[in-house]
């Protein structure tokens, strides 16, 4: 009976975490370049390792592992010359107060001084540093071309080239807000310069969240959660009756 209570209650915290993950995924379904999270649960013993086979349910605790799904989202054509998407591998590099960050969100704009920036005002980096347009008005009119290699031209003159990087181990990337990523402190993610990226001008990468699949998962988890709640209530009532009987 106690074992049943433990099993039911032990399974509820991971469900709450999963609900939190789903809610965050759904909240970012329209966030450009957003990568959804997934999670799995593993049984661990007190030493942090998987318990031996046949050890029983009471021998361990549930460890929730949260991971990012880096699958590429669909590309949406916008026609905006400063909207950029990466087809295939790679990340744009932006400079933030906390250091370099990496993103698939190419919804860029211009700062007052003509610099290419994110919607939050972070500098978009080129291979030679920040990218600055000499004539803002012409950029606004769409008189700028960006080829697949990320070269930016005006009047057939190359004014810069986007810096695009890739990672050998994306599991070392951590979310840093607004579709930005950072490398886990002290980790080696295998950063390399992407010399031959495929940049698409006038396109944006949509979130890779499947809204219907997330809603189905949410309904299923809610059912499991309610089932566990009922099981706990039933076992608690049975235990209480047993204790009452034991008094006589």
Indicate the range of 3-7, 30-34, 168-172, 176-180 predicted with least confidence.
3-7
- pLDDT beyond 90 at 1: no
- Structure confidence at residue 101 as a pLDDT band (50, 70, 90): very high
- Structural domain of residue 94, as residue ranges? 75-205
DSSP per-residue codes, 143-167: --EE-TT-EEEETTEEEEEB-EEEE
pLDDT of residue 6: 46
* Shared domain check, 128 and 113: yes
* Shared domain check, 173 and 83: yes
* Shared domain check, 40 and 115: no
In a domain, 29, yes or no: no
- pLDDT beyond 50 at 98: yes
Closest to 18 measured CA to CA, from 224, 173, 176: 224
* Shared domain check, 83 and 136: yes
* Shared domain check, 125 and 192: yes
* Shared domain check, 215 and 198: no
What pLDDT digit, counting tens, does each position of 144-169 carry? 999 999 999 998 889 999 999 999 99
Between CA 58 and CA 51 the distance in angstroms is: 10
* Shared domain check, 142 and 227: no
* Shared domain check, 149 and 187: yes
Find out whether 145 and 200 touch, Cβ atoms under 8 Å. Answer: no
Report the number of distinct structural domains present in the chain: 2
Mean pLDDT for all residues in the chain: 84
pLDDT of residue 129: 95
């Amino acid at each position: 009976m106690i074992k049943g209570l433990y099993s039911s209650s032990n399974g509820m915290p991971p469900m709450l975490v999963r609900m939190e993950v789903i809610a965050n995924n759904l909240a970012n379904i329209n966030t450009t370049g957003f990568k959804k999270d997934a999670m799995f649960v593993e049984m661990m013993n007190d030493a942090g390792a998987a318990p031996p086979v046949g050890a029983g349910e009471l021998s361990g605790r549930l460890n929730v592992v949260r991971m990012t799904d880096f699958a590429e989202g669909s590309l949406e054509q916008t026609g905006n010359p400063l909207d950029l998407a990466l087809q295939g591998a790679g990340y744009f590099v932006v400079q933030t107060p906390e250091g370099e960050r990496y993103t698939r969100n190419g919804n860029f704009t211009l700062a007052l001084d003509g610099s290419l920036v994110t919607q939050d005002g972070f500098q978009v980096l080129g291979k030679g540093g920040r990218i600055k347009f000499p004539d803002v008005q012409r950029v606004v009119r769409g008189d700028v071309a960006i080829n697949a290699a990320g070269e930016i031209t005006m009047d057939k003159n190359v004014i810069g080239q986007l810096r695009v990087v890739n990672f050998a181990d994306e599991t070392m990337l951590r979310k840093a807000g607004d579709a930005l990523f950072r490398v886990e402190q002290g980790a080696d993610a295998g950063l390399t310069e992407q010399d031959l990226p495929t940049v698409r001008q006038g396109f944006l990468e949509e979130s890779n969240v499947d809204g219907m699949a997330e809603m189905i998962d949410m309904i299923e988890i809610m059912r499991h959660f309610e089932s566990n709640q009922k099981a706990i209530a039933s076992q608690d009532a049975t235990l209480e009756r047993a204790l009452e009987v034991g008094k006589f």
